[in-house]
Amino acid sequence: MNELELLVDLHRDAERQGPGGDEETRLSVSLSGLSTGEGLKIADIGCGTGAATRVLAEDLGASVTAVDFLPEFLAELSAAAEQAGLDGRIETLAASMDALPFEEQSLDAIWSEGAIYNMGFRKGVESWRRFLKPGGILAVSELTWLTDERPAELQQHWEKQYAEVDTASAKMRILEENGYSPIGYFALPERCWLDNYYRPMQQRFADFLARNAHSTAAQEIVSAEEFEIALYERYSAYVGYGYYVARRTRD
């Protein structure tokens, strides 16, 4: 297996592929001001196996297009949607987030949890705007510095992993510069990282390594995750995911 196949193998059975929580998705929905009964059309970009997709379809009664470039995750999502009786409201789309096939001004909202970093926050918010109806909602979670200053070890690690990591005020400025009006912000609580993401992942490591005959590549993936987990445990006061809810301006 190559590295991408190994990552799919590690994450496909998971409830989520990044930090998050159903309650926090609901909080973002509440901040968006959207309500049920409006026949909403929403895209969930970088949906993974669809934890947020299901909340959006269920709580808003929306038609949700779940987009990811990995068909293996979309297959899990479809099965879970069917089991929850939500398959009539959720459709999957295998596409890359930097080449989306939506029509201009066709969506009431775009959600994206823990995924926009794959194309970069600035490029993502800039290029997705045209798909939103005027006044439409963008809701994204994104790696964020929680304080003005932080330990050098932490800063170096994340700047190497993701050059755009920044403070909430800097992210909101990018939203404003790209034709959005920020309407809500919160930071994901620690349990979204630890209870919902890292601990379940750690429980999958042993089987993952066994399935892959303890290959060097599999061990390297586990070591990198363990390093990141230890870093988060030490420095969770300084770094987290910010959840940004913004409205497309009307021009």
- Chain contacts with ligand SAH (rule: CB under 6 A): 16-18, 20, 46-48, 51-52, 68-70, 73, 96-98, 113-115, 118
Burial classification of residue 37, based on how many CB atoms lie within 10 Å of its CB (0-12 exposed, 13-18 middle, 19 or more buried): exposed
Q: Could you tell me the smallest distance in angstroms from the CB atom of residue 162 to ligand SAH?
A: 12
Q: Could you tell me the smallest distance in angstroms from the CB atom of residue 118 to ligand SAH?
A: 4
Nearer to ligand SAH, 69 or 162 (CB): 69
Side chain identity, residue 29? V
77's CB contacts (< 8 A; 6+ apart) are 47, 48, 49, 50, 53, 66, 68, 90, 92
137: nearest Cα among 60, 210, 228, 23: 60
Structure-block tokens of residue 227:
């390093």
Nearer to ligand SAH, 95 or 150 (CB): 95
CB-CB contact of 130 with 64 (8 Å): no
Nearer to ligand SAH, 43 or 97 (CB): 97
Side chain identity, residue 62? A
Q: Could you tell me the smallest distance in angstroms from the CB atom of residue 249 to ligand SAH?
A: 26
CB-based closest residue to ligand SAH: 48
Q: Could you tell me the smallest distance in angstroms from the CB atom of residue 173 to ligand SAH?
A: 24
Q: Could you tell me the smallest distance in angstroms from the CB atom of residue 9 to ligand SAH?
A: 13
Nearer to ligand SAH, 69 or 205 (CB): 69
Mapped onto helix, strand or coil, the DSSP state of residue 133 is: strand
Nearer to ligand SAH, 151 or 190 (CB): 190
Nearer to ligand SAH, 9 or 113 (CB): 113
Q: Could you tell me the smallest distance in angstroms from the CB atom of residue 112 to ligand SAH?
A: 7
Evaluate the CA torsion angle 43, 191, 22, 185 in order and state its sign. Answer: negative
Give the number of other CB atoms < 10 A from CB of residue 9: 18
CA–CA gap between residue 167 and residue 244 (Å, rounded):
12
Q: What is the DSSP letter of 113?
A: S
